[in-house]
Amino acid sequence: MTLRKHEWEKHGTCAAVAESLNSENKYFAKALDLYKKVDLDSILKKFNIVPSSKYYSLDNIRSVIDSFYKVKPKIQCVSPSQGEAVQTLGQIEICFDKEYQLMDCVEDEEELPNSIDDLFVFESAQQSEFSVCDESMPIYYPPAHEEY
């Protein structure tokens, strides 16, 4: 199964209740529009948070996003392997309401709405092995070409 097909079946078919998202093409076109609107990579770069061998604090990443967009993101990490003291940035979610306006994300996954009418979530990564980042651990933001 392709990534596109998986994402459409997992998220898009739920979103299809909205007229503006009622086809696979409309769903992905809107996702690309929102991705461009947010331009998270450029904002992080302006604040010197870039993929590199450097480590960042969760508070620093969260503060940059909150100060620029005026919303709270949902930041998730890949937990460190046993014996390691650094977590890896997994994904940053920027959330939208049903009118596609930025809004605070809900941190606890149990509290997430289960209807597209309640919330649209932009996900910057497509993996599922993420958990809430540990506030006390540094975060590694790896260059795209590296395996972690």
Q: Long-range contact list for 14-18, CB < 8 A, 24+ apart?
A: 14/115, 14/116, 15/116, 15/120, 16/116, 17/115, 17/116, 17/117, 18/98, 18/116, 18/117
In a domain, 129, yes or no: yes
Whether the per-residue pLDDT at 107 is higher than 80: the answer is no
**Token pair belonging to 55:** 């480590």
- Percent pLDDT > 90 in the chain is 50
In a domain, 103, yes or no: yes
pLDDT at 126: 42
The total number of structural domains in the chain stands at 1
Whether the per-residue pLDDT at 146 is higher than 90: the answer is no
Average pLDDT of the residues in 114-130: 49
pLDDT digit string (tens) for 62-85?
999 999 999 999 999 999 988 899
Q: For residue 127, what pLDDT band results from cuts at 50, 70 and 90?
A: very low
In a domain, 145, yes or no: no
**50 Cβ contact list (under 8 Å, min separation 6):** 44, 141
* Full domain range(s) for residue 105: 3-140
In a domain, 146, yes or no: no
In a domain, 147, yes or no: no
DSSP, res 8: I
Q: For residue 114, what pLDDT band results from cuts at 50, 70 and 90?
A: very low
In a domain, 51, yes or no: yes
In a domain, 148, yes or no: no
In a domain, 124, yes or no: yes
- How far apart are alpha carbons 112 and 119 in whole angstroms? 8
- Report the predicted TM-score, pTM, of the whole model to 2 decimal places: 0.75
65 CB-contact burial (10 Å; exposed 0-12 / middle 13-18 / buried 19+): buried
Residue 67 DSSP SS3: helix
Give the length of the chain.
148
CATH code for the domain of 132: 3.90.730.10
pLDDT digit string (tens) for 5-40?
878 887 777 777 788 888 888 888 988 999 999 999
Place of tokens 């506030």: 135
